[in-house]
Amino acid sequence: MGKKDKKARRGPSDDIDWDELRAAAVEAMQRAYAPYSRYKVGAAALVSDGRIVTGCNVENASYGVGLCAECGLVSDLQMSGGGELIAFVCVNGHEETIMPCGRCRQLLYEFAMPGMLLETVSGIRTIDEVLPDAFGPKDLEEATR
């Protein structure tokens, strides 16, 4: 599906409102704390129970301890009841869609339902498309057998 296609089908009655997710990501981005890079990021995701969770980046003078928007989103997910992520979008300070870095894709994978959708710079993609052959909890379970 292309970027112009605002809704992606997941099932017979499960429409994803990408405009609502994007608006939540933009609102989160506006709360970002980015005095050093001035690169504000906001993220939003739809959860399996219908909630929307959000996060923003929070920088620190000691650059290595800054927090990305995806970390904040996953924290919001856990603090508000857990669940699986169904759809995800991330924006920069210009409200443009951006791709989560590899580390953040791995973080999202841990909490994604199979086939989670992401709005990316090249259109709607699944988590498996943006993180093929991912390492996850199943790999650890198999190693302990």
Question: Which residues are known catalytic residues?
Answer: 70
Q: Is 109 annotated as a binding residue?
A: no
Please indicate if the annotation marks 37 as binding a ligand. no
Residue 84 labeled ligand binder = no
Structure tokens at 50: 């219908």
Residue 69 annotated as part of some ligand binding site: no
143 is in an annotated binding site: no
| Sequence-ordered list of residues with C-beta below 8 angstroms from that of 50, at least 6 positions apart, any chain | none
Is 26 known as a binding-site position?
no
Q: Rounded distance, CA 27 to CA 22, Å? A: 9
Helix axes 102-111, 69-79, angle to 10 degrees: 10
Q: Is 92 annotated to bind ligand?
A: no
The H or E element that residue 126 is part of is strand 123-126
9 with 71: CB under 8 angstroms?
Answer: no
Residues in the annotated binding site = 57-63, 68, 101, 104
Residues in the annotated binding site for Zn(2+) = 68, 101, 104
